[in-house]
Chain A
Amino acid sequence: MNSSIWTDTIWTDTIWTDTIWTDTIWTDTIWTDTIWTDIVLNFEQSRRDFLCRSGGGFASVALSALLAEESRANQLPTLPIDPLNPLAERVAQLAPRAKSVIFLFQYGGPSTFDLLDYKPELLKLNGKPVPESLKRQPDRVGGVFNHCKDELMAGPWKWAQHGESGHWVSELLPHTARHIDDLCQVRSMYSESSNHAPATYLMNTGAILGGKPSLGSWVTYGLGSANQNLPGYVLLYKVGGLGGSANWSNAFLPAAFQGTQFRHEGSPVLNLQPPASLADVQRSTLDFAQTLNRKHASLRPGVLDLDGRIASYELAYRMQSAALDIGELSLETQATQESYGLQDANKDKALFGRMCLLSRRLVEKGVRFVQLYNAVDKLGWDGHDHNTEFHNRNAAQTDQPIAALLADLKQRGLLDSTLVIWAGEFGRTPMKQGNDGRNHNPYGFTIWMAGGGVNGGKVIGATDEIGLRAVDEPQSVKNLHATILTALGLSPDHLYFEHNGRQERLTGVAQSWRTIPGVFS
């Protein structure tokens, strides 16, 4: 850093009048007003860039003043947690649009321009090299051309327009196509790694490093849960994303906000039931322990954890039956079961159908956040070779159950209060890799949201003509997270937890995000 203050003489006082810093900008209400926030954010971003670029001592002073302002704007404490009932429902910070989330995670990186992002140009260029104008080497994350041939490859699927919106959908998703007017598509997502684990961590925890709380943990921390007899954050998977438990970790948030896996077969929660030989004495055993526990606690007044643990045993006892009920899919009508594909000859589809139906039953009971992983093996959508087979298989497994879920939620009046998200960790290349495969592509891919007050039938952003890069309104994963939090009535900057001296947030540094414009009307 150049220590000379001489360089600073170019920053005349007129540029830096106090008028830019007026208190009116820094009112506490800025974050309640989306438009105003956007104005401030855009201004803030450019000012911050400017300050940082200018480099010198004065700039640093100004930056630190700016940061100090930020800290002043964030005087809300870390949310208090009641030891007797850590999942107690909280009032949302902003007006909520949705109450629950079902996140349909599409592991492996679906080739979204083979599914939803129609690219007629790619069909024309099939077999041809990538146009020179699109060959710019990516500057951040390497690799997109490195393992591919310089040959574009169109998918073999037919496309047709659907719904009132008339959006194109590939024949891979005939069932989803019927709901196209309910989907709000963001076609210009980008990720920050082209590698499964870091990109999956990013999509689930907001950081490519792992070790941060997952979206579901943040949401249950922010809102608690509406059903105290069930976990607030439920995971449904046969095979989870690469990188393991860090994808659904509570990390430094209290364990009350960790995801609980509902199993796809057998008892719905691990260790939910005692072995048969102990089932009929469970209550009696518990009564004995609780009598002694209460006596122990009465001698130690003020140690709330002791009362909390007594309460947790009663909750666990209630959870035994509540969770069992949730898992009882036979209570659903035959028609419902069939719509989800529960009896389908394709076992993998039937399994995914069970997960989708379970997720509806869970949100119906007030569970806050449900996350499904689509994969039944390590492969998922990851078609490095034979991309067509990968996509045929995964679409066949997921399309009908997802459509059934949307229809079911809608029919029960739950879709308005349930935000459904469909997203993978990244997309794939339009260039050919190996044996008719496609490589990872973090530079442009599509996700969709439905329900929860989003604009159905809307398409936001665009990739270039071959689907390689987001060129119109590129959206970061952070923006997606901010959008999800906002939908639930959580203010991204005010949802934080003090850890190791930092205010940790899902969306990182305050005001470094924007909600995706156009998702909500």
Chain B
Amino acid sequence: MALRRSIIGRMLLSAFLSLVVSQADANDSHPFVESILPLLESKCLSCHGREKQEGGLRLDSLAAAMAGGDSGPAIVPGNIAKSLFIKAISFRDPDLQMPPRQKLSDKDIELLTNWVQSGAAWPEPVAVLFEDEPQFLAALTSGNGKGRIIREDRFAGKVALGITPLQRDGVKIPDWNFLIREQPKPGEHRYMRLAWKKRGEGSVMIELASNGNWPDAKVAKGRYFAGANSTGWSAVSVAPVAPTDWTVVTLDLWKDIGEFTLTGIAPTCDRGEEAFFDSILLGPSIASLDAYRPGAGLPTDTETNPIGDAFTDKRNPIRKIFRGERLDLWSLRKPDPESAVIAARRIDRTTDPTLTAATGSQSIDAFIRERITKAGIKPSVEADKRTLIRRVTFDLTGLPPTPAEIDAFVTDKSTDAYDALVTRLLNSPRYGERQARLWLDVVRYADTNGYERDEFRPLAWQYRDYVIRAFHQDKPFDQFIREQIAGDELLAAQRKSAHPTEKITDIELRPQSQDEADQLIATGFLRLGQWDSTAAIFQEEVRLRAEQMADLTNTTASAFLGLTISCCQCHDHKYDPFSQADHFRLRSFFAAVTPRDDLTVSLADEQAAIDENNAALDRQAAPLKAEQAKLDKANQERHEKLKASISEIEGRRRRPRFAMGATDSGGTAPATHIFYQGDFGSPREEVVPGFVSIFTPGPAAIEPPTDGTTGRRLALANWIASADNPWTARVIVNRVWQQHFGTGLVATPNDFGFTGARPTHPELLDWLAIEFMQSNWSIKQLHRMIVLSATYRQSSIAPAGQAVRASPDPDNELLWRQNVRRLDAETLRDNLLAVSGLLKPFQTGKPVWPPVPDELLKAQPAILEAEKGGDGGRMQGWYTDPIEQTDVRSIFLVRKRCLPVPFLQAFDLPDTTVSCARRDTTVVAPQALMFLNSPEALRYAEALADRLAPPNEEFSFADSDKTRAVIQSLFRQTLGRSADDQELMLATELLVRHTDKHRQAERNAAEHLALVDLCRAILNLNEFVYLD
């Protein structure tokens, strides 16, 4: 417990006053602390302090300064002539001039000279027993009064202590062992100072424990009070009347009590309403107490001279923590537009001297080719058109091209055929669905709460649909960021700017358009993490809140910035230049976030209809209610009838459409404290919102858009969504690149730090980031640029004669070919649905619950409870939809945290607890079992067979033309190509052989069963599951 804080006091003989009572003035201060110390700190101590002692001199204590360095004593109190320090700063002697580079101002020289002349008063440590530590209250563990921490009315600390009758006490407070004596040595004390006041009648009192014991009740020693004491305990009166406003008392403990060890206190309220205490200090001298500025600690020069970034300002805390190292991290330097252009020009000319103005795609190729050429590797040829349309269709829409689409593209000989194809795909609604899926990974989207009950979140899907819309509309990515982090404040700011003269006391969030409604829905981002609804039952709310705040901070840092700020929860970052405070400074931007499930998103028309409906119902109900009011109580029958009618009418009321999102709890936010070693039970110093200290160590400038919100998140969102932020654009550009090549230019998309991968093509990454920002943060433009490049269009097969493993770049880091990539879980399932003809057309809205084996449902305690009706309507269960309604794209399937859809889970579905930057593509046997034997897989194979040859159709494999046609159709449908002769032969053999087997086993429709077998085999092929 940090109940002690040492600061500097002053070595002065003090007046032996028993009691000193003065009016409160929080701005009382000592000239040394006010003006001398800051000067020494900023001008002298970097060379004459703890770390360095130029000329053997230290100026960090009076003793050290008096002892001096190689040339003799630096300071002789009261004698400026003998003080070398004064000689040096005056610049009179050309051989002794300090500070060496720049003379102090005349004013500063005068200040220092006067200080030495008047005795070089130098304060010494005081101990702060209580000032601003909310946890102090916990140290007072017994007594029958109630204690509370007060923020709004305090003396000078950040909080004050309020005690209702009678007292809270701690006879032995952890870490308290303060020796009180007449002539204190360092670390010992004599005087106590505190501020107190009283509300209501009676007195205010403080009792001091000596060596773990309270004073005898009959002895006044060790007990002080102001007002009329009726406690029955003897005490020393400090004032006849209890102060009603903050009053500072200074007590000479040695004189009153003698030598003892102070181990605890009991702040006491004798009758009346409440006694208040603040700024309880111990000091060796009155002067040392005078030198302490309550609540402010030591003054610094940062108020007049804000600390700059770590690159230019030595005072930057990151420089101190990491000793000036770790500043060379590549991602800290923002991409520079000019150098990007220069690099692009250089590259373009080297590759193709005839180029005057390259397209974006050509520039990409130039960057990539430069390294391939240097490595002496041949790039692959362009992939054939079938491969290309399959690749680009999957990459942009997550679905396979139909045979008709393939034919159209293959036969289109026009030069812009591919360009047109890309345009068509980017405009397809399927594009939004695919991109949204990838973003939902990054923000760890799920439809349920997680933990014990894992309740359904009935409104979460609106966020999912918002993301789909955002990508489909190509919402500028910076706007997309702002809406998710601070859509509500953005809307409030818009309202304010539209009505600047009106006083907006609360956020008027009623959206006027779908765009505005989307800004509210977007704040669902703040709600996506897990939430444990049972924590409150076991008084674990504090832990839960700490976890949620950490989760939100970490996810925001990973998703938008590629920062591993989660490492800083417990300590300064092990590798990257971020301090523990940085985590908590970012965390405090979210301190006021309040979950809301009542954000109205009905638009005007809709709302008018709702209002009209409800008004009509009111009119209908009004006479009934009137009659009810007047009705004689005896008329029970009529009463019941009226009640039933009214309730029926009420039942037809319509509610507005709500969204699941968040707003601030109001214009102020609860305090954020740094947690010692990340432990929520050990809060330490308070922090205010600030961006990473390496750039701006001071507090963030925050302007609340209205009175009803703090404006913190808007400030954060604007900082993230800024061209000045070195990470944001690079991070998203890298994610999009990864989507098209399997690996990003930075292979670790959520880690742009020292332990993350270095960019393989740093100039290209920066150039892409600049282009992206200059084209209004357009994701579609970015996709277009990448997929139109020759690099993207390469074949995945090595050029003839180029051995893969033996090449200088076997892992294809340089991209001399396309990568072979496995489809991810959802794309796999969507592909199966698409080729088997089961895929339902476009759908949005509430998630769909696919069938899951009963035993898996029964294995979940929470689901069992729900199925027995024991979940009190909390929706803990699994609500299976009819199977024909479940053949939708996988993004629309429910994402239940405690039970992922098994078919998807088998294929590396990411966990929904933390941000997922990149899907694994593990290959394991249970996947094969799932693909071969699961009811889903069989259903797809059957549907595909039905599609090729309806089961009721008479069919025989003796008809070789027809058999060949079916096989070709199957290959075209599933693999996007025709079967070759060998495949035709093998497939035909299989059909014939299996038909025989099924006949022998006396199964009906043997031919059809054989065809199902063949379909099953094809759907299991690597070629079906991997993309060239």
A289 and B1017: CB pair below 8 A?
A: yes
Q: For residue A230, which residue of chain B has the nearest CB?
A: B925
Residues 1 to 18 of chain B near chain A (Cβ within 8 Å)? 2, 5-8
A134 interface residue per 8 A CB criterion? no
Q: For residue A108, which residue of chain B has the nearest CB?
A: B861
Choice from B450, B748, B1020 contacting A210 with Cβ under 8 Å? B450
A312 and B861: CB pair below 8 A?
A: no
B41 interface residue per 8 A CB criterion? yes
Q: For residue A4, which residue of chain B has the nearest CB?
A: B298
CB distance from B963 to the nearest CB of A (A): 15
Residues of B within 8 A of A4 (CB): 41, 298, 300
Residues 900 to 946 of chain B near chain A (Cβ within 8 Å)? 900, 902, 905-908, 911-915, 917, 920-930, 932-934, 938
Listed stretches B20-28, B66-74, B188-196, B982-990; interface member: B982-990
B676 interface residue per 8 A CB criterion? yes
A299-B538 CB under 8 A given contacts A244-B898, A270-B853, A500-B564: no
Choice from A7, A71, A271 contacting B933 with Cβ under 8 Å? A271
Greatest chain B CB density within 10 A among A140, A254, A270 is at: A270
B1003 and A501: CB pair below 8 A?
A: no
A375-B861 CB under 8 A given contacts A5-B60, A68-B574, A500-B751: yes
CB distance from A49 to the nearest CB of B (A): 9
A498 to B899, CA, bound (A): 26
Q: For residue B798, which residue of chain A has the nearest CB?
A: A301
Listed stretches B528-536, B662-670, B730-738; interface member: B528-536
Residues of A within 8 A of B551 (CB): 209
A209 to B911, CA, bound (A): 12
A14 to B307, CA, bound (A): 32
A285 interface residue per 8 A CB criterion? yes
Residues of B within 8 A of A440 (CB): 538
Residues of B within 8 A of A17 (CB): none
Q: For residue A60, which residue of chain B has the nearest CB?
A: B321
A302 interface residue per 8 A CB criterion? yes
A296 interface residue per 8 A CB criterion? yes
A315-B50 CB under 8 A given contacts A2-B298, A252-B911: no
Residues 281 to 324 of chain A near chain B (Cβ within 8 Å)? 281-282, 284-286, 288-289, 291-293, 296-297, 299-303, 305-306, 308-313, 315-317, 319-320
A378 to B929, CA, bound (A): 30
A312 to B1009, CA, bound (A): 25
A255 and B922: CB pair below 8 A?
A: yes
A385 to B1020, CA, bound (A): 53
B572 and A210: CB pair below 8 A?
A: no
A256 to B898, CA, bound (A): 20
Greatest chain A CB density within 10 A among B534, B750, B928, B997 is at: B928
Residues of A within 8 A of B860 (CB): 239-240, 244
A378 and B567: CB pair below 8 A?
A: no
CB distance from A367 to the nearest CB of B (A): 14
B859 interface residue per 8 A CB criterion? yes
A3-B300 CB under 8 A given contacts A60-B321, A289-B1020, A309-B1022: yes
B804 and A301: CB pair below 8 A?
A: yes
CB distance from A500 to the nearest CB of B (A): 5
A285 to B60, CA, bound (A): 84
Q: Mark A266-283, 1 if CB is under 8 A from B, else 0.
A: 000111111101101110
A297-B321 CB under 8 A given contacts A195-B532, A308-B923: no
A245 interface residue per 8 A CB criterion? yes
A285 and B1013: CB pair below 8 A?
A: yes
Listed stretches A122-130, A141-149, A176-184; interface member: A141-149
A205 to B677, CA, bound (A): 20
A57 to B317, CA, bound (A): 8
Residues of A within 8 A of B179 (CB): none
B981 interface residue per 8 A CB criterion? no
B50 and A211: CB pair below 8 A?
A: no
A193-B315 CB under 8 A given contacts A255-B908, A288-B987: no
Residues 366 to 384 of chain A near chain B (Cβ within 8 Å)? 375, 377-378
A9-B861 CB under 8 A given contacts A319-B925, A500-B914: no
CB distance from A143 to the nearest CB of B (A): 4
Q: For residue B804, which residue of chain A has the nearest CB?
A: A302
A240-B861 CB under 8 A given contacts A195-B540, A255-B908, A316-B932: yes
A208 to B544, CA, bound (A): 10
B915 and A500: CB pair below 8 A?
A: yes
A244 and B924: CB pair below 8 A?
A: no
Greatest chain B CB density within 10 A among A212, A243, A284, A320 is at: A243
Residues of A within 8 A of B928 (CB): 309, 312-313, 315-317
B1021 interface residue per 8 A CB criterion? yes
Residues of A within 8 A of B567 (CB): 501-502
A519 to B572, CA, bound (A): 35
A55 and B864: CB pair below 8 A?
A: no
A380 to B1026, CA, bound (A): 45
B1013 and A278: CB pair below 8 A?
A: yes
Residues of B within 8 A of A237 (CB): 859
CB distance from B994 to the nearest CB of A (A): 5
A501-B994 CB under 8 A given contacts A309-B923, A375-B861: no
Residues of A within 8 A of B798 (CB): 301-302
B820 and A67: CB pair below 8 A?
A: no
Residues of A within 8 A of B911 (CB): 211, 246, 249, 251-252
B566 interface residue per 8 A CB criterion? yes
A246 to B444, CA, bound (A): 14
B570 interface residue per 8 A CB criterion? yes
A8 to B45, CA, bound (A): 13
Q: For residue B934, which residue of chain A has the nearest CB?
A: A271
B472 interface residue per 8 A CB criterion? no
A238-B929 CB under 8 A given contacts A7-B6, A86-B924, A288-B1017: no
Residues of B within 8 A of A96 (CB): none
A312 to B924, CA, bound (A): 6
B1021 and A281: CB pair below 8 A?
A: no
Residues of B within 8 A of A2 (CB): 5, 297-298
A143-B539 CB under 8 A given contacts A254-B922, A293-B1021, A305-B923: yes
Residues of A within 8 A of B862 (CB): 242, 244, 378
CB distance from A136 to the nearest CB of B (A): 9
Q: For residue B677, which residue of chain A has the nearest CB?
A: A52
A194 interface residue per 8 A CB criterion? yes
Residues of A within 8 A of B297 (CB): 2
B1023 and A197: CB pair below 8 A?
A: no
A299 and B908: CB pair below 8 A?
A: no
Residues of B within 8 A of A71 (CB): 574-575
Residues 682 to 698 of chain B near chain A (Cβ within 8 Å)? 684-685
A320 to B905, CA, bound (A): 20
A272 to B925, CA, bound (A): 10
A5-B50 CB under 8 A given contacts A302-B810, A308-B923: yes
A198 interface residue per 8 A CB criterion? yes
B1001 interface residue per 8 A CB criterion? yes
Choice from A63, A86, A211 contacting B571 with Cβ under 8 Å? A63
B641 interface residue per 8 A CB criterion? no
Choice from A211, A299, A313 contacting B1020 with Cβ under 8 Å? A313
What 6 additional pairs, Cβ within 8 angstroms, besides A2-B297, A301-B803, A309-B923? Answer: A5-B49, A193-B538, A195-B538, A246-B911, A255-B927, A501-B753
A residues lining the B interface (CB < 8 Å)? 1-10, 52-53, 55, 57-58, 60-61, 63-64, 67-68, 70-71, 83, 86, 139-143, 146, 193-198, 208-212, 231, 237-246, 249, 251-252, 254-256, 258, 260-261, 263, 269-275, 277-278, 280-282, 284-286, 288-289, 291-293, 296-297, 299-303, 305-306, 308-313, 315-317, 319-320, 375, 377-378, 440, 498, 500-502, 509
A sample of 30 cross-chain residue pairs with beta-carbon separation below 8 angstroms, ordered by A number, consists of A4-B41, A4-B300, A6-B61, A8-B50, A9-B50, A9-B61, A55-B684, A57-B320, A60-B321, A61-B321, A67-B572, A209-B530, A209-B913, A211-B911, A231-B926, A243-B454, A245-B899, A251-B911, A271-B930, A275-B938, A285-B1016, A288-B986, A288-B990, A292-B1021, A309-B928, A313-B928, A315-B925, A440-B538, A502-B566, A509-B570
